[in-house]
Structure 1
């Protein structure tokens, strides 16, 4: 998509040791898949990735452990699939917002950037349980490297959206700061007590982004 979010794709997840592989075979039953992912999310958020047990995930989902392995290969596969689904949902949301803004005649790079950032932050609030999970440092081996790879791609895409010359160090640093502001705000939203507080944070952050973006070029 254009700016704000960029998918590392399922292929990137497969590059991790013991990656999830094909998690969505044509014959996979959707209800089974959802039950396993919902149970995995609950257990991961309650116990952390390291202490999460496959037996508990299977028991909560009502799906045999063997079926869990068949579909996801274990904890890593479940975690990476949750990550991909979170990323894809955020990606679709921000892509739709940018497309609507452009269709409405918006061409200003800062206006587009802030609109996309707002959509991303609203998605972070809507999906805050997943957001809290991925904000923690407890994940499968290699996940930090994958997240850093995606973060670098995110900065590059935002630089293009803001029409910043990536060859200029000052421009790159400013876009990196802007991207970090969005990521930090998304983590804060995970701890918000209610929607009113979340909206206040989103509005405040978008104001900050407008101010900082003014000199991004």
Structure 2
């Protein structure tokens, strides 16, 4: 293979750097405009003006406004996943093996990221996104549930699936409150409260050896008894 001349290698590196800088400028501009205007009201003209770029460059690098929105979403998800993975890895490195404690470490990292990137979290929760975005969100939630399932070492039973879905949904709701916090101090207080709720729900998790599996008949008995009490009260 013929070696690339030093000058040519330098030119390639410069071109790549310029491309990366252009993409970053467009993403940062899109982030600002989407947050200010909302996805629907934002225009490509506003984005390229804010980025100091051109319409042609935007279409060349991303394909359009929807693709910019999705790129911001993917960046946020990657950052959240990386932060959670690193937090769990740090916990394991100091000897933590309890699934609940590992889950707590990952949750704290995710909630902290919701404060750091609160403008994006608000944007993604607003319900104003490109066609197909809600499908992507639902798929991401499903993937997140699966990851939590593996981290907690749950079985494929109906009750364990319900358990992990409740936990995951609660963290999603907690992230809303973190995003709405008026200061870092308040955000930290909300994160600590959220971790407290996680601890309550994981205090006797499905991985605990002493936990007896709930029988369907027992659940049915509880529901039936409750229905009878309501009937007597109504009568």
How far did 1:186 drift? 1.1
Assess if the C-alpha contact under 8 Å between 1:171 and 1:216 holds in 2: no
Which is richer in helix?
Answer: 2
Aligned to 1:107: 97
What is the RMSD computed on CA atoms of the aligned residues? 1.4
Equivalent in 42, 51, 61 of residue 32 of structure 2: 42
Assess if the C-alpha contact under 8 Å between 1:178 and 1:209 holds in 2: yes
Equivalent in 139, 163, 179 of residue 174 of structure 1: 163
Written as runs of structure 1 = structure 2, the 5 A alignment for 1:40-189 is 40-165=30-155, 167-189=156-178
2:21 maps to 1:31: yes
Deviations 1:106-164 (A, max 9, x none): 00000000111001101111111111111111111111111101101111110111111
Aligned to 1:194: 183
TM-score by length of 2: 0.79
Deviations 1:143-202 (A, max 9, x none): 11111011011111101111111x211111111111111111112111111011000000
Deviations 1:24-63 (A, max 9, x none): x957622211111111011111111111100111111110
Count of residue pairs the alignment pairs up: 192
Structure with greater contact order relative to length (CA < 8 Å, sep ≥ 6)? 1
State the alpha-carbon separation in 2 of the partners of residues 116 and 151 from structure 1.
15
Gaps of 5+ in 2: 1-14, 207-235
State the alpha-carbon separation in 1 of the partners of residues 126 and 205 from structure 2.
30
State the alpha-carbon separation in 2 of the partners of residues 74 and 110 from structure 1.
43
Counterpart secondary structure, 2:166 = helix
Gaps of 5+ in 1: 1-24
TM-score by length of 1: 0.85
Counterpart secondary structure, 1:51 = coil
Aligned to 1:12: none
